[in-house]
């Protein structure tokens, strides 16, 4: 693993990253929850601060997946990891540029149906990643939590609308916050994978030496 990446994860630990990101998500919720969601300043609008923050979370998650695939994946092929990384980065661009809405307007087909095959392919790749993470239950739970948050968010979006008619505006805020939460959980899970690889396996204790003393000895060498 490159030394700059090791230094990065020694400073930006998973716990610190999670605390900072979820504090910012809470701040976004406080700022936007009182605004009209259908307006340009709402959580579901393109090109505002919330959209850029959501895209940043997706870019970070995609980058961490790629870094984990290259330097820290526990086992198995790297291709599924890179597929998920590319999907997250594409989702970030979509968040800013509104590609799904443009496709829906031009085709007359719900964007969730248009994106269906991509979601299925990504789901298969995510299952491969989950299998590779099976020996790390906390990381696996965090990763699954990210996927669950995104899944629930898409269900809420489906319920919100009937064609171009907004039926349940009150669901916009939880939907958007769930998407941010899901992206954050993906990123934290992958950061934990990288952090674990950077730390390396626990050093073997010498005869008569405690594990804590072995760790201390290794840290000074």
pLDDT by residue (tens digit) across 19-62?
999 999 998 888 877 665 444 446 666 677 888 999 999 999 99
Q: Is 174 among the domain residues?
A: yes
Q: Is 88 among the domain residues?
A: yes
Exposure class string for 22-47: b at 16+ Cβ within 10 A, else e: eeebeebbeebeebebeeeebbbbee
Domain that includes residue 191, residue range: 13-199
Q: Is 86 among the domain residues?
A: yes
Between CA 179 and CA 89 the distance in angstroms is 14
Does residue 55 contact residue 47 with C-beta atoms inside 8 Å? no
Q: Is 85 among the domain residues?
A: yes
What is the number of domains present in the chain? Answer: 1
Q: Is 221 among the domain residues?
A: no
Q: Is 3 among the domain residues?
A: no
Distances (CA, A) of 52 to 2, 17, 93, 94, 152: 29, 18, 10, 11, 21
Distances (CA, A) of 149 to 39, 115, 176, 177, 215: 24, 18, 10, 9, 37
Q: Is 211 among the domain residues?
A: no
> What digits encode the pLDDT tens for the residues 132-188?
999 999 999 999 999 999 999 999 988 887 767 777 877 888 899 999 999 999 999
């Amino acid at each position: 693993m490159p030394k700059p990446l090791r230094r990065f994860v020694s400073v930006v630990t998973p716990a610190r990253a999670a605390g900072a990101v979820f504090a910012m998500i809470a701040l976004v919720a406080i700022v936007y929850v009182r605004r009209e969601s259908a307006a340009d300043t709402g959580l579901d609008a393109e090109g505002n601060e919330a959209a850029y923050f959501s895209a940043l979370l997706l870019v970070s998650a995609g980058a961490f997946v790629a870094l984990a695939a290259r330097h820290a994946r526990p086992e198995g092929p790297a291709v599924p990891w890179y597929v998920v990384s590319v999907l997250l980065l594409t989702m970030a661009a979509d968040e800013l540029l509104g590609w799904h809405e443009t496709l829906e307007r031009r085709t007359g087909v719900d964007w969730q149906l248009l994106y269906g095959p991509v979601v299925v392919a990504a789901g298969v790749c995510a299952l491969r990643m989950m299998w590779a993470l099976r020996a790390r239950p906390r990381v696996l739970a965090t990763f699954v939590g990210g996927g669950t948050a995104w899944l629930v968010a898409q269900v809420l979006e489906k319920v919100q609308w009937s064609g171009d008619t907004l039926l349940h505006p009150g669901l916009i805020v939880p939907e958007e916050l769930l998407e941010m939460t899901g992206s954050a959980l993906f990123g934290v899970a992958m950061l934990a994978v990288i952090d674990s690889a950077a730390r390396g396996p626990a050093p073997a204790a010498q005869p008569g030496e405690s594990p804590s003393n072995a760790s201390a000895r290794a840290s000074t060498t």
